[in-house]
Structure 1
Amino acid sequence: MFERFSRHARIAVVVAQEEARELHADEIRPEHLLLGVLDSAGGDLAAVLSGHGLTAESVRTQLSGDFDADAAALQSIGIDLHAVRDIADRSFGAGAFDRALRGGRRPRRRHLPFVKPAKKALELALREAVAHHDRVIGAEHLLLGVLRGGDPVALDLVATHVAPQRLRADVSALLAKAA
């Protein structure tokens, strides 16, 4: 199926794997595919996404909320976790704080598997391309597959910026315009 992916869609899948690693996940989930699309979207799709305020940076911020929640809790007792992270990184090298959280080892570059909902999103991307009479699966189709897959985490990330139905309609209109 990947031979039918456009350049942007292939990049989105590769970026999804990198995002999963950066977020210390053991598998690629739909939210990582969403991040991959946001990072790799070109031209008109990027304009639609940014028009809704849906950017890779905003989604990354939402996904890293656990660190911020911990930082806020520790701040209430006078500990600045952001300052602790900065000092550790300055003293022991960039990423030292995060490596310590993972047991001190550098992340292995092994292949990360796709979870079932992410596989379903890829399958639905193919169906979206067929439904739009497109020969190539683009980043737009991949985004539509993520939306259609209904993963609650991915949909919540999108819904913070725009109603998923609205985004789906806008991306479908973009595909219809391109046809």
Structure 2
Amino acid sequence: MFERFTEESRAVVLGAVERAAAAGAEKVDDGHLLLALLDQLDHGVGERAAFVLTALGAADRRASIEGALADARRRGGLSQAETEALAGLGIDLEEIVARVEEVHGAGVLAGAGAGGAGDAGRSARKGRRNRLGRLPFTRDAKEVLAKSLRIAVARRDRVIAGHHILLALTVRPGVVAEVLADHGVTYGELERVLFAGAT
């Protein structure tokens, strides 16, 4: 499948690996793919993805998007909707996270604790590579890449570009789609801007 990726989308995938490695993550997830797409705004590549992110105002709210992803990681990957559902049951997730971090270190639920008794084990696992020397991808990230292929095929595009990855990120339920929607980037809005006037 990777041979169908444009230079732009390959840069996104490689950028996601770099983002995950820099964060000390054990695997590359869909959040890393989004962050890598946002990073492409700085490199002048990803013309269509950059265009639509800019047109929808997400480029200007990049820090907010990154902060929302970081907050979700801190909550152990739970979306804001899941957090609110737990609150409706009388469960204060923020209090639980604070107590866990008090014992095990800040960021422990995100897999990037700083300080605390559990750091030795995390350090040994930090940045674990597969047998080819690469960080593995989570199931979510693999599903996003597979969905980007299906979107490209459905649109009769011969290659997978950055905007296909962005479209796939908006349709897969979870934190990334929620964060994008909260910042005005939905599948419908992406289609409207990307394919306006297309027959």
Q: If the TM-score is normalised by the length of the shorter chain, which range does it land in?
A: 0.5 to 0.7
- Contact 1:99/1:105 (<8 A) preserved: no
Structure 2: distance between partners of 1:18 and 1:58: 21
Note closer, same or farther for the CA distance 1:163–1:146 as it changes in structure 2 (3 Å cut). Answer: closer
Q: Does 1:124 align with 2:181?
A: no
Structure 1: distance between partners of 2:146 and 2:193: 18
Partner residue of 1:39?
39
* Deviation at residue 173 of structure 1 after TM alignment: 1.1
Please tell me the residue identity of whatever aligns with 1:160: D
Moved more, 56-65 or 118-127: 56-65
Encode CA deviations 1:75-115: one digit per residue, 9 max, x unaligned. Answer: xxxxxxxxxxxxxxxxxxxxxxx895455969658322111
TM-score normalised by L of structure 1: 0.67
- Contact 1:5/1:136 (<8 A) preserved: yes
Please tell me the residue identity of whatever aligns with 2:15: V
Partner residue of 1:21?
21
Question: Following superposition of structure 1 onto structure 2, how do residues 82-161 of structure 1 map, counting pairs within 5 Å?
Answer: 101=115, 108=127, 110=129, 111-150=134-173, 152-161=174-183
Please tell me the residue identity of whatever aligns with 1:60: E
* Deviation at residue 171 of structure 1 after TM alignment: 5.3
Note closer, same or farther for the CA distance 1:122–1:49 as it changes in structure 2 (3 Å cut). Answer: same
* Gap runs ≥5 in structure 2: 75-93, 99-111
Note closer, same or farther for the CA distance 1:171–1:142 as it changes in structure 2 (3 Å cut). Answer: farther
TM-score normalised by L of structure 2: 0.61
List 4+ stretches of structure 1 deviating above 4 A. 98-109
Query: How many residues are treated as equivalent by the alignment?
Result: 150
* Deviation at residue 145 of structure 1 after TM alignment: 1.7
**Identical aligned residues as a percent:** 34
* Deviation at residue 60 of structure 1 after TM alignment: 2.1
* Deviation at residue 26 of structure 1 after TM alignment: 1.4
| Pairwise CA RMSD | 3.2
* Deviation at residue 23 of structure 1 after TM alignment: 3.1
Structure 2: distance between partners of 1:146 and 1:63: 13
Note closer, same or farther for the CA distance 1:4–1:44 as it changes in structure 2 (3 Å cut). Answer: closer
Moved more, 129-138 or 155-164: 155-164
